[in-house]
Chains A and B, each alone.
Chain A
Amino acid sequence: MSALTDLIPAHRPSLAQSLFAGVVVPSLCAIGVGTLMQFGVGPVLGDYWTSVGVQVGIAVMLAVSLNIVNGFTGQFSIGHAGFFAIGAYIGAGVSYYGALLIWNDASAMAHGAPLVWNNSKSWLFGAGEWLMIGGAILGACVAAAFGYIVGLPSLRLRGDYLAIVTLGFGEIVRVLLQQTRPQVFDGAELREMSAGELVIPPLGGATGFSSIPKYANLWWVWLFVAVVVFFAYRVKVSSTGRALLSIREDEIAARAMGVNITKYKVRAFVLAAALAGIAGALYAHSGNVLQPRDAGFQRSFDCIIFVVLGGLGSISGAALAAVALSIMTEALRGPEPILENWIALLILTAVISIVAAILRAVGNRGWRITLLMAVTPLSILLLGLASKFFTDATGINLADYRMVVYALLLIVVMLVRPNGLFGLTEIWEYFGPERAKKPPTTPPTASQAAAAAPTEGSRP
């Protein structure tokens, strides 16, 4: 068409290439992560830590999904638990009532072939588990639809108003879930219900939705963690991600540059809501009773603190914050399981420290951040010890003070590092060969500067 497009060489990959890079490789990676967690890490962890591992995975998914709205786009959503709740209840409803209608029996595990915690006696995929996946996909779609609805006001509202709307949305979802009908335990009774009765679905109300099959083990949860993280990363480095980041930096300038603000803000909400819906569906299958309270403001706040601490816009930072804070919460709540595993934590610290030492020896910049990560298991151990001695000495449970500490952390991080610990930077961007100590003494010539210009902005 124009002369300009002729000048740019076509680098479009073929369909097979993009399928391979975009679907096959990430799927294999996700399956690898799930398998590693289930068969490699799971047996080492033991029952208690396996259940913690499942919750940590769900926290990572929530943190990464919220990061799309709060981190990339700079919109402030504090009702993320609403999307989580929608996904959770739809996932639970599909897999519980589906089992009830198909097999007339929804008792836990009857139709899955679950890798129950450590009990890896059977194969992976049962019909019940496919029901869970179907529920997760449906939950993600419905949550995305709600994300669209919540995203719409964001076009007219700036930061703080939007925060209130999302907060209101989260509360409305919670209150409405509390008004649902009691759960039905009998397939025949369910079939006899009229359509009018099903307008208010039997989701258990305030007492909760019980006996949901416990399919969400390490394999499924961490498989989805890998999928969600990969997805978020692809969003970040795509043209959509650049548009979102431009909205975050300056909305007016972005609009002046031709970014369709409406489209991208809504898109961010839809994506984040869908991912939160998946996290919710898995959460529903990880415990026994699902209650509207599980998706209260507390959970929204937990997501916010993961994102803010880890870095507004850094996927790996938010994920790391989610992992560390979830485990630290456990360390405060009951230090005994931590203290029982003190050898494992020390070994972890030692291994990461050795990696840091090697990185330093080969002159890689990443050794500092690796050393920082080595401190994390050690500090969890110390926190567990402190918590135990403090409780023994004074009778006060440190878990009571957890939220006080989190709130203080939030304020201090905002005062000291307004973009979170990692900011926009992904953790692996800290790695790489050591930079030259001396900056170039001569200023770059105009042609050099022009040549360097296109690479700016693609890397922070």
Chain B
Amino acid sequence: MADFLQILITAIAVGSLYALIALGYTMVYGILKFINFAHSDIFVLGAWTSLTASVCVITWLKLDTQQPPLWLAPVVLLCAMVVCGGVAFLVERLAYKPLRKSARLNVLITAIGVSLLLQNVGQLPGFTAAEKDGRSLATVPFGPSPSRMPSLLPDTSLISVPFPSGDPTIPAASVQVNLVDVFIFVSAMVLMFGLQHLVYRTKLGAAMRAVSFNTETASLMGVPVDRVMSFTFVTGAVLAAAAGFLYALKYPGLNQPAHEIWVLLGLKAFVAAVVGGIGNVRGAVLGGFLIALIEFMGMYLFSKYLDPLMGTNMGTNLRDVYVFSVLIVVLLVKPSGLLGTPVREKV
């Protein structure tokens, strides 16, 4: 029971990150009508930027590495958001905007190209940005080797509920709610409600919805379509940057090459957007939590029940398989997603 609850808590924390990334996918799809493959790379860029920024600030200001001051986290988050927003703006202007009138396949291939460009530029051996005792701590771009994010939050658990086991030989397990998990959940919630407010309560949000509904009519009504599209794109990237920062807080080991684990994580968020109904903001949030639950519960149930049965040890290794199987099933049964409305193709 204790391990089940613990996994549930992790699933909720990771689910809120999936939801944040899925929001970016869904917003871009709603307005630009294509899947931004580079979105998961923006997420990874956010994580690596947070790492580099925090290492740099700590080294330059000679802060305490073990217990950095609490103001550092918001500063690093802001830094990641600015960098990702800037990169996304450039990508939209240089790569996607010239293709607005061309076939979907071409835009898709370009998106894959942008994704690979970001990934591989990120892996280039870079210039040293922070060094200590002649040893390079952080580089720009991030270099080919893995690195570790300094802990910006104290590693404390807020709530700890002991679960005594009936058998006295087995030590009592306890369910812990860590500060990191709560921080992730609360920040994700704040950002999501902020986005909800932006889309449904502001003039800009009305313009975004109008462009999403019908680009040409919106343009005729005086909506500055290009600017709204750029803004939407940058907003999605900023949310992904926040997700990257939060993810790096929870799992501080950052890998290179990124595509093996991290980009896959972004793609799972895309699955979340599709499952919730792409183009639908609430659907993305729902899908994010759902996908995380399926992933972690699948891992838990498989390792607990199926692995002993088959004499294997692969429950946790199959986590991507659960997610992509769910994607295929949803696409076959209800291609528009849980909350999406089916689109009629007009001739």
Contact = CB atoms under 8 A, between A and B. Distances in A.
A61 interface: no
A156 interface: yes
A163 B108 contact: yes
A74 B318 contact: no
Contacts of A178: 317
Contact of A176 (B99, B124, B274, B321): B321
Contacts of A237: none
A31 B105 CA distance: 38
Nearest to B91: A411
B312 A179 contact: yes
A415 B109 CA distance: 10
A65 to B, nearest CB: 18
Interface in A148-187: 152-153, 156-161, 163-165, 167-169, 171-172, 175-176, 178-179
Nearest to B33: A160
A401 B117 CA distance: 10
B109 A159 contact: no
Nearest to A70: B105
A228 interface: no
Contact of B105 (A76, A153, A200): A76
B296 to A, nearest CB: 16
A252 interface: yes
A400 B312 contact: no
A165 B335 contact: no
B42 to A, nearest CB: 15
Nearest to B334: A156
Contacts of A406: 116
Given A400-B125, A410-B112, A171 B314 contact: no
B1 interface: no
B112 A304 contact: yes
Contacts of B324: 168-169, 171-172
A188 B119 CA distance: 47
A156 B335 CA distance: 7
Given A407-B117, A407-B120, A410-B116, A160 B331 contact: no
Contacts of B310: 199-200
A308 interface: yes
Interface string B296-317: 0000000000000010101001
A403 interface: yes
A250 B144 CA distance: 44
Contacts of A304: 109, 112
**Interface SS, B side:** helix
A406 B105 CA distance: 18
B157 interface: no
B116 A164 contact: no
Q: Which residue of A165, A301, A414 has the most chain B CB atoms within 10 A of its CB atom?
A: A414
Interface in B225-283: 259, 264, 267, 270-271, 274
Interface residues on B, range: 35 or more
B64 interface: no
**Interface SS, A side:** helix
A134 interface: no
B320 A172 contact: yes
A175 B117 contact: no
Given A400-B124, A407-B114, A418-B103, A164 B327 contact: yes
Contact of A411 (B95, B259, B317, B332): B95
Contact of B117 (A297, A396, A411): A411
Nearest to A307: B109
B308 to A, nearest CB: 14
A301 B331 contact: no
A323 interface: no
A408 interface: yes
Contacts of B103: 418
Contacts of B113: 407-408, 410-411, 414
A403 B116 contact: yes
A410 B110 contact: yes
Contact of A157 (B116, B317, B335): B335
Given A172-B321, A304-B109, 11 more contacts: A153-B331, A163-B35, A164-B267, A164-B271, A164-B274, A168-B271, A175-B320, A199-B310, A252-B347, A406-B116, A418-B102
23 contacts: A76-B105, A76-B108, A163-B35, A164-B35, A164-B271, A165-B331, A168-B327, A171-B320, A176-B318, A178-B317, A179-B312, A199-B310, A252-B347, A304-B112, A403-B119, A404-B121, A407-B113, A408-B117, A410-B109, A411-B110, A414-B109, A414-B110, A418-B106
Interface of B: 34-35, 95, 98-99, 102-106, 108-110, 112-114, 116-117, 119-121, 123-125, 144, 259, 264, 267, 270-271, 274, 310, 312, 314, 317-318, 320-321, 324-325, 327-328, 331-332, 335, 345, 347
Q: Which 8 A-B pairs have the closest CB atoms?
A: A168-B324, A410-B113, A407-B117, A407-B116, A403-B120, A160-B35, A411-B113, A414-B110
